[in-house]
Structure 1
Amino acid sequence: MKASDTWPPSPVGYSSGSDIGVVGVVVGGEKAKKGGDGGANSNNNCDAESAQRGELQRQLSGRHLNFIAIGGTIGTGFFLGTGSALVKTGPAGCLISYVFMGTVLWSVMVCLGEMATYIPTAGAFSSYATRFVDDSLGFAVGWLYWFAWATTYALSLTAAGLIIQYWNQNVNIGILIAVFWVVFTVVNYLPVRIYGELEMWLSSLKVITIAGFIIFAVCIAAGAGQEGALGFKYWHDPGAFNEYLVSGGIGKFVGFWAVMIQASVAYQGAELVGVGAGEARDPRKTVPSSIRATFWGILSLFVVTIFLLTMVVPSNDASLLNDSSSDASASPLVIAAQRAGVSVLPDIINAVLLTAVLSAANSNVYSGSRVLVALAEEGQAPALFKKTNRHGIPVFSVAVTAAFGLLAFLNLSAGGGKVFNWLLNISGVAGMTTWASTCLSHLAFVRALRAQGIPRSDLPYVSRFQPYTAIYGLFFNVLITLTQGFTVFIDWSTSDFFAAYVSLILFVALWAAHKLWYRTPFVDPATADLVRGRYDLQEERSAADGGV
């Protein structure tokens, strides 16, 4: 018995909206033209039809997709976490770790690009795993990924309150959590294009700040600060690599591997382009360009910033060693400014941190709700999670995802913080399992194309070096997932072991329970669903209905 026998999935319907100004689309190899009010009105007509059918609407442009992914990736982990990474492994190890994980991210993004342009669906990861690999895998990946975003919403709300307390310790964090919860829950009930615009502006502030720091750091390294020209001084003293937990060469490798795992978490969120593909205008054009722009934008921002940080902040700086703070005082960007004699930067960085976590909160609800939609479409969640209002907003999916943000109030109780931290440990491994399943799904996707006689050259977007790219990404994502808690084996702690691996245990439990209950076979490539949700078929349907 399959899950879909219980909750029968129906095809995901999408409007075939295009960018404003486009008057026609290519259908069946010929251009179907529509005169009069042009592409903008066509887009509105298609969205109106989607609203009548109770479906998501294609209102996100390429720039919206870019900034949704950037907003989900660049957060407090980047602004604060890079300091602890520098301490663990030193400047060279830190830089190599982030560059290496950038190559793993690239493998995931190009695999996602091929599938998301051919079948652009909301919450793509679980859908692709279900259709091409295994129903139970899609179930486990989808629910774990949703739970990760839902609990991260609570983290973002808590972090926003703590950051505001940097300016006023007397502010009640519970009131701040309540206010932000209401604001960002309401925002996610607005039409998706409004969400996209808000996310674009919030993310722009982070990008501008990083760009400003890059210019600042170049000047400091060149000698504009009070320490004179720095160059690669800190790569020699205290050294290019640090030892971590154990001494000698093994200790240096341990530091490198620990930071690589940290970098993998820092890069998570870039895959949100795949979540937004189901609401993107003309996904065959916007999704590939957004994937390329997102990957290169995030990689360059991360790598260049970290490279310059290693030049202007030594890995043994006393402020880095005391990284328990959750506000701007723990940021290596602020430490760099303080060493250079610039005193105004902490307040600016704290304000940017606030926009970072608010942007993340915005993305958390959006991403989690769309994953629920995908699960419902595949028959792995109740059908009510597919229901949308006239603006194409999945009302019940947003409500359930947003409700998990109330877990932020756990931090106000004496023992709630420990429970909350256990829940949040799920998010890191959930991202890695999603990346791994994306690479595995791509291998199965290509196998299904071959079995059904569809050449890869027919895909709207074709990446290079396949299937080696997918194999590379799958191998390292699985390896990192299995070893992400390896430090507990060096300094054993039962509590830390379960904290590190609770998400992996949950993933296996979800997969096994679904497999045992429904007894679903692995997907036969000859019968894999390569039709439902295909954008060219949606265009043909819309054209036949007179929508375009």
Structure 2
Amino acid sequence: MVKDANEWPSPADSGVMDGGVTVEKKGPTGGDAESDQQGELQRTLSARHLNFIAIGGTIGTGFFLGSGTALLKAGPLGCLLSYLFVGTMLWSVMVSLGELSTYIPTAGAFSTYATRFVDPSLGFAVGWLYWFGWAITYALSLSASGLIIQYWNKDINIGIFIAVFFVIFTLVNYLPVGIYGELEMWLSSLKVITILGFIIFAICIAAGAGQQGVIGFKHWSEQGPFVEHLVSGGVGKFVGFWAVMIQASFAYQGAELVGVAAGEARNPKKTVPSAIRTTFWGIMVMFVVTIFLLGMIVPSNDPTLKDQAANGSTNAKASPLVVAADLAGVPVLPHIINAVLLTAVLSAANSNVYSGSRVLLALAEEGLAPKILTKTNKHGIPIYAVAVTSAIGLLGFLNLSPAGGQEAFNWLLNISGVAGLTTWGSTCASLIGFRRALKAQNVPVSDLPYISKFQPFTAWYGLFFNILVALTQGFTVFIEWKTSDFFAAYISLILFAAFWIGHKLWYRQGFVHPAAADLFRGRYDSHEERDAADGKV
């Protein structure tokens, strides 16, 4: 590892610790001296923009397609309980994030909070892994768009669509952030409308509107509410539940993007808490109700679901929504669902570049990435951070390689799944460190713009289960051992440990002492003119 003093900020410049004491270098506005000389983000995103940015990053092919394999693994009740339980984990993360991001609203919040309130090395590891997770997911979204279009014409080369959509969404992310927010709102709205439409459709089918007659809870009684997965008996049913819980934790990821966008939100004291509540309950209700209804109208042993899961299909054929329509005798729905899937991955691609670039910007502002990445244009767009993040999307062309390209790409995608879990866990840890810092520096909790309930116990709950899920997310490899599968499952945790330990050995920094934690840099003050601000940060 080689450092250039002209490119990488020193720990003192970025406010990180030196022997347990935080050293700050203030600029004329009370912020970091270097970041004051770079460009500025602009606060132009409203609460509805924040909602749909998070929804756009959450509801994607992982939910539309992955819910089918979840039903196969755990059965209708096991699947439902898994999604409900992970919803409680998400709640602990979101309320913790709300408290942090309303007090210090900053782009790419996760690495910033971990650096200031827990450990600079943790901020480095979380930030870089989270950035790479979103950047590689951009490559996935570009590839998936081509595969979905092949549903209508198998002769089309997906490389064409990877190239076209790469150019389009890279350019979109150079538009003013308000325009980006409006575009993301409309793209995400189509997914929400589809889910709401399916909920109405499923209720009608369960009540007897389809060719199967009244279904009710027939599949629960015939196939059983739980399914044995990999092993038999009660243990097999628990294995199915846990396997789906891990899958659900990946499906929910993206809801935390409200925190990424907080640095560009108008009046974050009001818009961020509102957006967090709306995003959490909106996603939770849509996911849980859809999973519940799928378990009613699609049998957990459906042969079509088994075939599509075995073949790894990425278009409408693999969606349990399409299976439900086929069973009900509605043949036109697969084309509609495929069009929605295309919209979903394009919306995700849009969110991927936005979120990745803001995380990279935050890393640079905290001295954990080259300073040049903090530069913004007159519209407040971090031009180099967008370019670097977007460039990773070109890895999508690995799918065109006949010799191992797909396998290499799948390994990279495994990193993105656990990156979200480490981010969730670090957010809870940051809240714990933040509360300790408030107490040590005699700052009353009542001064916070938003106060989450049952803290810090809520954060401890989220921290424990996020660590547990991250450590066990590849547990099935220990049931059916295969060395390559082990590394594919745990390469992300290995990389995370390498980032954390490597940074700590290089900089020799200790954990942040509560009395020395930076509670004031970047804090959104309470002046009336700032409350009404919709211009520059």
Query: Same fold per TM (> 0.5)?
Result: yes
Q: 1:467 to 1:165 in 2, by over 3 A?
A: same
Residue 76 (structure 1) aligned to one of 61, 68, 73: 61
Work out whether 1:483 is the aligned partner of 2:472.
Answer: yes
1:527 Cα offset (Å) = 1.1
**Residue matched to 1:359:** 347
- Structure 2 contact 44–266 (Cα < 8 Å) conserved: yes
Residue 217 (structure 1) aligned to one of 202, 225, 231: 202
1:269 Cα offset (Å) = 0.2
1:169 Cα offset (Å) = 0.8
- Structure 1 contact 277–287 (Cα < 8 Å) conserved: yes
Work out whether 1:8 is the aligned partner of 2:31.
Answer: no
Q: Name the SS of the counterpart of 1:8 in structure 2.
A: helix
1:505 Cα offset (Å) = 0.2
Question: 1:158-206 deviations in whole A, cap 9, x for unaligned?
Answer: 0000000000111111111000000000000000011100100000000
**Residue matched to 1:331:** 319
Residue identity over aligned pairs, in percent, reads 74
2-structure distance, mates of 1:224, 1:319 = 22
Q: 1:190 to 1:538 in 2, by over 3 A?
A: farther
1-structure distance, mates of 2:326, 2:148 = 19
Residue 531 (structure 1) aligned to one of 517, 520, 536: 520
Work out whether 1:307 is the aligned partner of 2:292.
Answer: yes
**Residue matched to 1:235:** 220
Letter in 2 for 1:285: K
Question: 1:227-285 deviations in whole A, cap 9, x for unaligned?
Answer: 00011000011110000000111100000000000000000000000000000000000
- Structure 1 contact 142–375 (Cα < 8 Å) conserved: yes
2-structure distance, mates of 1:475, 1:225 = 44
1:8 Cα offset (Å) = 2.9
- Structure 1 contact 232–311 (Cα < 8 Å) conserved: yes
- Structure 2 contact 374–382 (Cα < 8 Å) conserved: yes
1:521 Cα offset (Å) = 1.1
2-structure distance, mates of 1:118, 1:542 = 13
2-structure distance, mates of 1:410, 1:13 = 47
1-structure distance, mates of 2:412, 2:528 = 42
Residue 189 (structure 2) aligned to one of 180, 204, 209: 204
Residue 373 (structure 2) aligned to one of 352, 369, 385: 385
Q: Structure 2: which 5+ runs fail to align? A: 15-24, 30-34
**Residue matched to 2:390:** 402
Work out whether 1:507 is the aligned partner of 2:492.
Answer: no
Work out whether 1:112 is the aligned partner of 2:97.
Answer: yes
- What RMSD, in angstroms, separates the aligned Cα atoms of the two structures? 2.2
Superposed counterparts of 1:245-394, under 5 Å: 245-322=230-307, 323=309, 324-394=312-382
1:13 Cα offset (Å) = 11
Q: Name the SS of the counterpart of 2:514 in structure 1.
A: coil
Question: 1:278-298 deviations in whole A, cap 9, x for unaligned?
Answer: 000000000000000000000
1-structure distance, mates of 2:271, 2:207 = 40
Letter in 1 for 2:285: S
1:11 Cα offset (Å) = 6.9
Residue 147 (structure 1) aligned to one of 132, 135, 139: 132
2-structure distance, mates of 1:13, 1:249 = 64
Residue 52 (structure 2) aligned to one of 52, 60, 67: 67
Letter in 2 for 1:372: L
1-structure distance, mates of 2:36, 2:516 = 31
- Structure 1 contact 13–56 (Cα < 8 Å) conserved: no
- Structure 2 contact 40–536 (Cα < 8 Å) conserved: no
Q: Name the SS of the counterpart of 1:287 in structure 2.
A: helix
Question: 1:28-77 deviations in whole A, cap 9, x for unaligned?
Answer: xxxxxxxxxxxxxxxxxxxxxx9996111111110000000000000001
Q: 1:213 to 1:11 in 2, by over 3 A?
A: farther
**Residue matched to 1:188:** 173
Work out whether 1:457 is the aligned partner of 2:456.
Answer: no
- Structure 2 contact 38–374 (Cα < 8 Å) conserved: no
2-structure distance, mates of 1:122, 1:539 = 22
**Residue matched to 2:405:** 416
1-structure distance, mates of 2:154, 2:27 = 48
Superposed counterparts of 1:144-183, under 5 Å: 144-183=129-168
2-structure distance, mates of 1:12, 1:66 = 33
Superposed counterparts of 1:428-447, under 5 Å: 428-447=417-436
Q: Structure 1: which 5+ runs fail to align? A: 15-49
2-structure distance, mates of 1:201, 1:543 = 26
1-structure distance, mates of 2:74, 2:369 = 43
2-structure distance, mates of 1:221, 1:192 = 43
- Structure 1 contact 12–532 (Cα < 8 Å) conserved: no
Question: 1:204-240 deviations in whole A, cap 9, x for unaligned?
Answer: 0000000000000000000000000011000011110
Question: 1:91-127 deviations in whole A, cap 9, x for unaligned?
Answer: 0000000000000000000000000000000000000
Letter in 1 for 2:440: A
2-structure distance, mates of 1:13, 1:328 = 55
Superposed counterparts of 1:41-60, under 5 Å: 54-60=39-45
1:542 Cα offset (Å) = 11
- Structure 1 contact 11–533 (Cα < 8 Å) conserved: no
Residue 121 (structure 1) aligned to one of 95, 106, 112: 106
Superposed counterparts of 1:131-142, under 5 Å: 131-142=116-127
1-structure distance, mates of 2:513, 2:389 = 33
Q: Name the SS of the counterpart of 1:231 in structure 2.
A: coil
**Residue matched to 2:71:** 86
Letter in 2 for 1:248: G
Question: 1:424-444 deviations in whole A, cap 9, x for unaligned?
Answer: 100111000000000000000
- Structure 2 contact 258–275 (Cα < 8 Å) conserved: yes
Residue 485 (structure 2) aligned to one of 496, 502, 525: 496
- Structure 1 contact 58–278 (Cα < 8 Å) conserved: yes
2-structure distance, mates of 1:541, 1:275 = 20
1-structure distance, mates of 2:536, 2:48 = 25
Runs of 4+, deviation exceeding 3 Å = 1-4, 9-14, 50-53, 537-544
TM-score by length of 1: 0.91
2-structure distance, mates of 1:471, 1:391 = 39
Residue 505 (structure 2) aligned to one of 516, 520, 523: 516
Letter in 1 for 2:387: A
1-structure distance, mates of 2:395, 2:95 = 35
Q: Name the SS of the counterpart of 1:536 in structure 2.
A: coil
Question: 1:500-524 deviations in whole A, cap 9, x for unaligned?
Answer: 0000000000000000000011101
2-structure distance, mates of 1:346, 1:280 = 38
1:320 Cα offset (Å) = 0.8
